[in-house]
Amino acid sequence: MFVGPALPTRDAALNATLAANSNGFKTVLSIKWSFLDRDFPRPDTANMQRELDRLDVILQRVMGKVDILVIGNEPYIDTLTQQQDDDLNVFYETMAARAIAYRAQSCGDTCNTRLYMGALNRLDLASNITPSVERWMQYVKATPEIDGVDIHPHVPAIEASKAFLDYILPRMRPDQRFIATEFSLVHWWRENSTKAISAGFADKYGLPRTTQNWQVIRSAVDNPFAKAKWDEFLSMSPWFENRKRFLANQMKIFRDTKQLAVATYAFKQSPEMGVDYGPDKPTWILNGVYAPITVQRRPNGKADFNYAWIDDFRVLAQTP
């Protein structure tokens, strides 16, 4: 779950995470800061102290309760390009130092909460291997209290995820691990969004063969399909059907490193994924294990699943 530090005592994600933890579930909490419309605060200023005070409120509630606390969430996406320099590193290192000190004071060596830095995106692109990212990994490696780094391999092909591992693993200590709190083929789905639907699906449902994939998805968002129809749309689309083992294949790549701590995958479609759905909409909607937005609910009111993911998800969830 993600939580922003602006209103931590009322944040729904934080409350939901703590409730799950109290019910016996393992939990990962990522603390998100957005600097898309503001500068990073300078060290030893009132603005920096305000950020530390907000962080303290979160730490007081979660330390020793959540299993993993991630300092940051996609910092290089949530920051203006011109600020992706040492100022970014100083800020997140300051937040990490605060979390380390708080953990030592509140629960010490017996604390159940492990600390990670993250999450890094699109490391498959050479343009994203910047001096700031290098410093990020140097800090992770040099800080004994940090257990590792979080990565988000949202990629156009599964092979691209290996670039993430090839970059981070040599830059970590042997005792450190990585987590992947998000991963998907969302960029592959996006590439196919404006292509024509399969002829078989078009003919079966009386659609023009020029209909684009995004248009069918939009139809399902507006009026959810029967499960059989949604399954046919995806299974008759080679660009999707040929990647239905993505979860199992990606997890094998992660686990073969012997340095994976945790990987989590999108559990269900969320309403915002379908809002104003169009050709340029990010295709997160195809990732969910459960599909409450594009598929009609079962007679008992429960969401139905995406045929491609459910079997492997169930097996993987039970396999250490």
294-320 mean pLDDT: 95
pLDDT at residue number 131: 97
pLDDT at residue number 10: 60
Tens of pLDDT, residues 143-155: 999 999 999 999 9
Give the rounded percent of residues in the chain with a pLDDT score beyond 90. Answer: 92
**Given this model, what pLDDT does residue 5 score?**
55
The pLDDT tens digits for 187-244 are 999 999 999 999 999 999 999 999 999 999 999 999 999 999 999 999 999 999 999 9
141, 184, 230 from 292: Cα distances, Å: 41, 19, 12
CATH number for the domain running over 2-183? 3.20.20.80
- Listed by start position, the domains of the chain span 2-183, 186-242+269-320
Strand 2-3 relative to strand 28-31, pairing: parallel
What is the dihedral sign for C-alpha 281, 3, 52, 74? negative
Which of 68, 69, 73, 66 is closest to 17 using CA atoms? 66
SS3 content of the chain, % helix, strand, coil (to 5): 45, 15, 40
pLDDT for 3 equals: 55
Joined tokens for residue 255 = 């686990």
Residue pair 260/181 in contact by the 8 Å Cβ criterion: no
**Contacts (Cβ under 8 Å, ≥6 apart) of 250:** 153, 158, 161, 183
State pTM to two decimals. 0.94
